[in-house]
Structure 1
Amino acid sequence: MSAKKVLVVGGTGYLGQHLLQGFSEIQATTPFALAFTYNSFPPQPLLLAFPTSFAFHVDLKTGLGFDSISQQFGQPDVVVNCAALSVPRACENDPDAAISINVPSSLVNWLSSFAQSDNTLVIHISTDQVYKGVKSFYKEEDEALPVNVYGKSKVAAEQFISEKWSNFAILRSSIIFGPQTVSSVPKSLPIQWIDGVLSKGDKVEFFYDEYRCPVYVKDVVAIIRTLIDKWLSEGKKMQLLLNVGGPDRVSRVQMAEAVAQIRGYDSSLIKPVSASSPGCSN
């Protein structure tokens, strides 16, 4: 029996790299054929860490590069779409780019080209920023009312997938945290960023009135693997929408205080401010 094929779109990002790591750790008992996409160039440390994986350059705006995957890797049994323009400020500055990257039209169009296209499960990573943020502990059935371009682009992505694809799981993830990746990522990581700014000994502002439920990256990987195992073992198409968060509701101030306590930094460096304060963006 041939190994099942898993394609990680956005494999050079934070979650993407941890997914590749998670699959590599179980290759001895549950072998998968792995492939991942990259946007500009494949990081050498990643290629060395996962030498049996296929790496493909893909432009998500145009779809250029997907044909190479068809020819060299074939139709995947599972696609995990981690790719996104996820920095809210960058999305605000270029809404067109946010839509063209975050709505996976080129990916879905490519998958539709296969004769048995519904044999592929699409797991799409969305965000808790699809919600308005006026209450705590949102449920999946709550209305999506995003307040920024990033959230709006992710809602558009969810709608596109649910309308155009019949076999999917959409994960609305909160802030993802955890250890550093094999290859560095351009986007600043929340805990590493807090650690870096506090280590300099300067006072830093943190929101006391914006709350999230940070989720450990390996827990997200475990959820994705569970969904994949269910699809591959049962073969039943799914149409799932799931909120993915950690057990604790914390503010940015509380995150910073936790880092300061563990690392031995002076907690007086943490200056609580309101998220509505002029010029604040942490």
Structure 2
Amino acid sequence: MKKVLITGSNGLLGQKITDAALADANIAYIATSRGANRHPVKKGYIYIDLDITDFEQTENIVKECSPDVIINTAAMANVDACERDPVASQKVNVEAVANLIALSERFNIHLIHLSTDFVFDGDEGPYMEDDEPNPINVYGKHKLAAEKLIKDSSCIWSIVRTILVYGVVNDLSRTNIVLWSKNALENGQTIKVVNDQWRMPTLAEDLAKACLTMAMKKAEGIYHISGKDLFSICELVDAVVEHWHLESSYICKERSSELKQNALRPKRTGFILDKAYDKLDYVPHSFGEGLKLIEEQLKKIGKQSSL
């Protein structure tokens, strides 16, 4: 049995990792996040309120739990918020990772760290793991800085870069582009959607499974994990419209320069997934399959809330 500790367990990916870990009898699971546990299942694992920017607290928890693996999903991931407050981004996205590195080195822990396609500038996508990063915003720069700290460390490490994660949690407390566009259009709200950026959206269940596979296989190095379909953001929202038979007239399609966001975004990212296919037996859902899964999960949540 492998003892796995996750940070950021209240997030979308964190809750999906919890689901997958609870279904695996070979994993002893410790979930950590800030505040109360948001996952609907409270039994079968340990939950700890943890702020990984606090080194002493993190050290005490790691000593107490003695994990074999730490999966770090905690991050300040709002790209515009990072641009507005780079000090806060540095603290969460770089300094907290340094805390985990130091403890992983000391206690011989396999550190699996979640990173992003935003370490790339978007000029040459889709990207392979050994392509040269060149971030164009604070978030990407800080995630790359954390990657460099990890690669320069002496711990057992893995870096998982991913793209535009989507999915549903039971209390609907976490949003993403699929739920945002669906909910807004269902309520007759006009939304602005960028028409000159391309991504490969990632189903949270696929990413969670890949992270745990890496933990169990002790797969080291950098891995690109995403969906297999490359869409413009407009095409992605169009697929949401088509799936749920929504009204498309509320969509205002604009160029990146017209949105006036705080942070620049890469134009075209996307990943070449051959390494994940070969080393992890990674089989991602298509975007259409992911939307069907979300529809089923939303129906189940609706039934539960009506009881």
Say whether the fold is shared (TM-score over 0.5).
yes
User: Given that residues 24 and 50 in structure 1 are in contact (C-alpha distance below 8 angstroms), is that contact kept between their aligned partners in structure 2?
Assistant: no
The answer to whether the 8 A contact 1:77-1:121 is kept is: yes
Report whether the alignment pairs 1:105 with 2:98: yes
Match of 1:164 among 148, 153, 158: 153
Does residue 1:203 correspond to 2:201, yes or no? no
- Provide, for residues 10-65 of structure 1, a one-character-per-residue CA deviation record: whole Å limited to 9, x for no partner: 111110110010011223xx3x21112112x123x52x503132222222223242
Alignment partner of 2:88: what SS?
A: helix
Q: Please list every run of 5 or more consecutive structure 1 residues that lacks an aligned counterpart in the other structure.
A: 232-237
Alignment TM-score, normalising by the size of structure 1: 0.86
Structure 1 partner of 2:210: 223
SS at match of 2:253: strand
Q: Are 2:149 and 1:149 equivalent residues in the alignment?
A: no
Runs of 4+ in 1 over 3 A off after TM superposition: 182-185
More helix by share: 2
Rounded Cα–Cα distance in structure 1 between residues aligned with 2:63 and 2:222: 32
Mapping of residues 114-129 of structure 1, within 5 Å? 114=107, 117=108, 120-129=109-118
1:160-179 deviation per Cα after TM superposition (whole angstroms, max 9, x unaligned): 0111133111011011112x
Alignment length, in residue pairs?
261
Partners of 2:4 and 2:77 lie apart in 1 by 23
Report the equivalent of 1:53. Answer: 45
Task: Indicate conservation of the 8 Å contact 2:52/2:58, yes or no.
Answer: no
Aligned-residue Cα RMSD (Å) equals: 1.9
Q: Using a 3 Å threshold, how does the CA distance of structure 1 residues 71 and 222 change in structure 2: closer, same or farther?
A: closer
- 2:33 aligns to what? 38
After superposing the two structures, state which structure 1 stretch, 121-130 or 137-146, moved more: 137-146
1:257 aligned onto 2:245: no
| SS in structure 2 at match of 1:151 | helix
Q: State the partner residue of 1:81.
A: 72
* Equivalent residues of 2:181, 2:191 under 8 A apart: no
**1:49·1:182 contact (CA, 8 Å) conserved in 2?**
no
2:279 is aligned to none
Change (3 A) 1:111 1:169: closer
Residue of structure 2 in register with 1:235 after alignment: none
CA drift at 1:184: 4.4
For 1:213 and 1:278, the matched residues in 2 are separated by: 21
Residues 72 and 182 (structure 1 numbering): CA distance in 2 closer, same or farther, change over 3 Å? farther
Structure 1 residues 25, 239: closer, same or farther in 2, change over 3 A? closer
The match for 1:10 among 4, 8, 11 is 8
Q: TM-score, normalised by structure 2?
A: 0.79
**Cα distance between partner residues in 1 of 2:13 and 2:148:** 22
Partner amino acid for 1:182? N
1:198 Cα shift?
0.8
Residue 194 (str. 1) matches residue 189 (str. 2) = no
| Equivalent-residue separation in structure 2 for 1:278 and 1:224 (angstroms) | 34
For 1:239 and 1:55, the matched residues in 2 are separated by 27
Range that drifts further, 142-151 or 100-109: 100-109
- Structure 2: where are the runs of 5+ without partners? 266-307
| Structure 2 CA distance for aligned equivalents of residues 112 and 229 of structure 1 | 19
